[in-house]
Structure 1
Amino acid sequence: MKSRTRTRAIVLAGTAAALVASLVAAGPAPAAPAAPAAPAAPAASRLASVHGGGTIFFPYSAKDDIRFTVDAESTPWSKPYPAPGPEKGLPTDARGRVTIYHHFKESGFIGTGEAEVDCLVTGGRTATLTAVVKTSNVAGWEGKRIGISVQDGQRGEPDRLGFSWAVANLDVKPDGTVAEATVGTCMAPAPFTEVTKGNFKVNPAPLSPLPK
């Protein structure tokens, strides 16, 4: 009985040794082919925007209630012009809305306007934009392009806002006479007033690359 058991053990040991030898001779099993890498997603383009609303303090109308709201987003190269203008549009093309509310304390008159944004450009925490007035109860304002500048205050500083009428944008003639000048796209003065209530958020972005 012991002889048979010993013989069987010898046979099994020989079989195992032969199996190990065959695996060593064959070398390691080939690795499974790697799955193809998924194509990298294109980097999302960062676009400029300005959002918010607030009341400003205008020193020449210190008792008046003057408010602005701005919702503007960049839409680069979206507004082509007929030749010889920029046929692909401009990197500062934009969309959105500006609303203006001005309650004149002395007269009680409330002037309002709503304008459609056509241009936006940012630099750091400051933005300038223009919009064409679509509706207003102020004579001569409908169809007029206005310029707005916004500075997003940081580190406890107040937000600031500027506008193209009242203190800026005069066209001085060679003879010294003056007239109100038209406002070109994205043209606005520095943000010369302080926002006393409310908040504006400027999301800056570099100019969009030239379209192919």
Structure 2
Amino acid sequence: MNRRTKIVVLGSALLLTAGAASAATASDEPPRQRETATASDAPPREREAAALTGTAKLYRSAGDDITFSFDAHLAAKDTADPMKATGTFEFSHYLKDFGARAKVKVDCLVTGGKVAVVSGVITESDLPGAEGKRVGVTVHDLGHHDRLGYSWASTGRPGEGNEPPKCVSSAPYEKVKKGTGDFRVVPWQPKL
């Protein structure tokens, strides 16, 4: 053997011997506990069953100031029952000296793909007769071109018209004002 080959063989033998000795020593020692937990040590977080979040203003050529905000969730453990959804949503509509706002407690959330239908009962409002009435809203999450619809388009304004059942609204026919749509829909995937 030439000198270069002898050096490579000897070096490889030394590395193998050192590796085997380290493995044997490591197996004889009790495992050490880590002093700090890392993110990978945490149990994997379960994906929620459905969600609708975000805020946007609607486009109106007359300049109406209409805003919708959502924070609605269906926990993974409640996948089979969309009426166990939690959270709130708010809406307001102002034009010159006229307007009103409402805060709603969620009572149902169903999503499919990028579309969500959420309903709830109005808990606070300056719209006469609206408190205690159910309303529904539909959102189509299209990035910066989101769309929205609401139950009172066909049932009459909250407090004056008919109430929809849980998780019922209209098609998302309204356009979101450019630059304001950040709705996010987490699709519901029930076990069928």
8 Å CA contact retained: 2:90, 2:101: yes
Q: Hey, what does 1:169 align to over in structure 2?
A: 155
8 Å CA contact retained: 1:75, 1:92: no
Deviation by residue 1:108-130 (Cα, 9 ceiling, x = unmatched): 12311111011000111000010
Deviation by residue 1:83-114 (Cα, 9 ceiling, x = unmatched): xxxxxx93442011111111123xx1231111
Deviation by residue 1:119-178 (Cα, 9 ceiling, x = unmatched): 000111000010110010000100010000011104xx600111111x3136xxxxxxxx
What are the equivalent positions in structure 2 for 1:49-68 lying under 5 Å apart?
Answer: 49-58=51-60, 62-68=62-68
8 Å CA contact retained: 2:48, 2:73: no
The answer for unaligned runs of 5 or more in structure 2 is: 1-26, 28-42
What are the equivalent positions in structure 2 for 1:97-176 lying under 5 Å apart?
Answer: 97-105=88-96, 108-154=97-143, 158-165=145-152, 167-169=153-155
Q: Verify: 1:186 aligned to 2:172, yes or no.
A: no
When residues 43 and 100 of structure 1 are mapped into structure 2, their CA distance, relative to the original with a 3 A threshold, is: closer
CA RMSD of aligned residues (A): 2.7
Among the aligned pairs, what percent are the same residue? 34
Larger helix proportion, structure 1 or 2?
2
Q: Structure 2 length normalisation: TM-score?
A: 0.66
Q: Matched residues in 1 for 2:100 and 2:89: separation?
A: 14
8 Å CA contact retained: 1:77, 1:93: no
**Moved runs in structure 1, 4+ residues, more than 4 A?**
none
The answer for unaligned runs of 5 or more in structure 1 is: 1-31, 33-40, 79-88, 171-178
Q: Matched residues in 1 for 2:82 and 2:92: separation?
A: 30
**Is the radius of gyration larger for structure 1 or structure 2?**
1
Q: Hey, what does 1:95 align to over in structure 2?
A: 86
